[in-house]
Amino acid sequence: MLSLWRSLLAWVHDAGYAGMAIAMVLEGLGVPFPGDAVLAFYGYMIALNHFSYWQVLFWSAVGSWLGSLVAFAVGRAYGIEFLHRFGRLLLLQPKHIRMTEQLSDRFGMWVVLVGRFLPGVRTLSSYFAGIGGMTWPTFLVTSLLGFALWCAAWLGIGCWFGANAAWILSVINRWLAAFLLMLGIGLGVWAWRRRTIS
């Protein structure tokens, strides 16, 4: 397991800023991709002084934003029919499509800005901004700002984890030991009661 972790660290380090930007394009396109986990992991790597916070924030926000521009253009050009026809290929669930459509109708540009923090909505909000006829300038600004805030939040979580990893792991180990002890006692009592009742 430790060798797998080291391999992952090495891969992320070798991929660098360009690899992360390319990965985040997938996030912006709405492809099922764990962008939040990738950002948190890069935040962890920032805490270990492997990357610059500001460069990671810049490239992750720009990568996500570029992907969202394509999704916006597809939404403008092909409408809701595109999502109904090809959504399953992107692993988009009909309930997320309905929910994002309702939110977009009700809140407009705020779905693009704040919806970046909502799983399911994040992947579809750019399509619905295009479908709903949002103007390019409004979309360009709200999408970039929304992705910058979202990226900053997840990078911050990863940085915090990286800076406090020793403490977090010690707390987990302490609680895990207590949990395992209680589980052992509970199983022992259950087995003893079962044996005495039979």
Structure confidence by residue, pLDDT tens digits, 173-182 = 778 777 888 8
pLDDT digits (tens, 9 = 90+) for 39-67: 998 999 899 998 999 999 999 999 999 99
| Percent of the chain surpassing pLDDT 90 | 31
pLDDT band of residue 28 (cuts 50, 70, 90) is confident
Q: How far is CA 97 from the centre of its chain?
A: 18
Q: How far apart are alpha carbons 84 and 93 in whole angstroms?
A: 10
* pTM for the structure as a whole: 0.76
pLDDT at 165: 81
| Percent of the chain surpassing pLDDT 70 | 92
pLDDT band of residue 5 (cuts 50, 70, 90) is low
pLDDT at 198: 66
Q: How far apart are alpha carbons 82 and 79 in whole angstroms?
A: 6
Instruction: Look at 7-11, 93-97, 165-169 and tell me which has the smallest mean pLDDT.
Output: 7-11
